[in-house]
Amino acid sequence: MVGTMRDYGTAGAPPGQERAIEAGMIGAVAQWCECLHGTNPLRMALRYLTDSIGAEAIILARYPRDAGAPARALVHDRARSGCRIPLEQSFAGDLLGDYLDKAKKGSTWYRSMQDEDVPPAVASALARRNLIEMVVIPLEISDRWVDTLELHFTEKLRQYQQAVLTTLGDTLSRTWHNRARGMFTESLLKSAAKQAAPLIGSPILSADNPARLSRSEYRVCLLLRHGQSPDQMLAELGIKESTLRTHLSNLYSKTGARNLAELTFQLVSGLPFELGGAKSGRVA
């Protein structure tokens, strides 16, 4: 796995378009810096970055070093309103895998450049949104967490976009290091408060735990979301096949999924719980 650029073609953008993007990025970085010091909401910076680089969505995520703790994320998704499958979670960990806490800060990691693609369930979820390229920028790697920025695109990136992202990654990482401490946590808490009682429900793996999963069931779901097979889960959890069957049977009952494929899709897609196929009367 490498985090360098690859040219998708010799054709670049017209000079006027390149200059417009460069000017937009200057404004977006200025807005990013202001938000990192609390002048404006952090979500505003994500919107500016998304618009300036031509991304479909951008996700700022924090991955705890504690393997049992889920990542938390702030998402700006252009298609969120009116979209049955909005992005609700980070996929940076799925792309970087074991390199999540080893990647160089500010480097750019392209999904299209990896030797191995993201897990099939993740690839399927992204394909349903026609998101064909994902770029991950590690912002900070500390003893307690890894912070990442990921951008999703519906088209292959041109050479000038890759060049902008390479420069942008280093700048965003350096400025992120100098952010006002506690700012990101505060933004996450505010985001969680706004989503505490959504009209159409929360994703299965959200902090609300709408399906009322047990701790063991939650761990099984986390492994499924990361593309592990039943045999891999048996080895990871150190449990018997009969125990795993029991967990899966309970999960099918609680989520309304009819099989492993449906359950995996619900977990990866981030669909609100009701839209995932489960109804309140079917929850065990």
The 10s digit of each residue's pLDDT in 236-274 is 899 999 999 999 988 988 888 888 888 888 888 777 776
The 10s digit of each residue's pLDDT in 183-220 is 777 777 666 545 444 434 678 888 778 888 888 898 99
Is residue 282 scored above 80 in pLDDT?
A: no
Q: What confidence tier does 281 reach under pLDDT thresholds 50, 70, 90?
A: very low
Return the domain boundaries, the chain.
Answer: 15-190, 198-282
More confident of the two residues 210 and 80: 210
Domain 15-190 CATH (choose: 3.30.450.20, 3.30.70.20, 3.10.20.30, 3.30.450.40)? 3.30.450.40
Domain 198-282 classification at class level: mainly alpha
Average pLDDT over residues 169-192: 82
Assess whether the region 15-190 and the region 198-282 belong to the same CATH fold.
Answer: no
- In this predicted structure, what is the pLDDT of residue 189? 65
- In this predicted structure, what is the pLDDT of residue 20? 53
- Concatenating the DSSP letter of every residue in the chain gives -------S-S----HHHHHHHHHHHHHHHHHHHHHHTTSS-HHHHHHHHHHHHT-SEEEEEEEESSTTSPPEEEEEETT-TT-SS---S--HHHHHGGGTTTSPTT--EEGGG-SSPSPHHHHHHHHHTT--EEEEEEEEE-SSEEEEEEEEESSPPPHHHHHHHHHHHHHHHHHHHTSPTTHHHHHHHHHHHHTSS-TT---TTSTT-TT---HHHHHHHHHHHTT--HHHHHHHHT--HHHHHHHHHHHHHHH--SSHHHHHHHHHHT--TGGGT--GGG--
CB 53 within 8 A of CB 164: yes
Q: pTM for the complete prediction?
A: 0.62
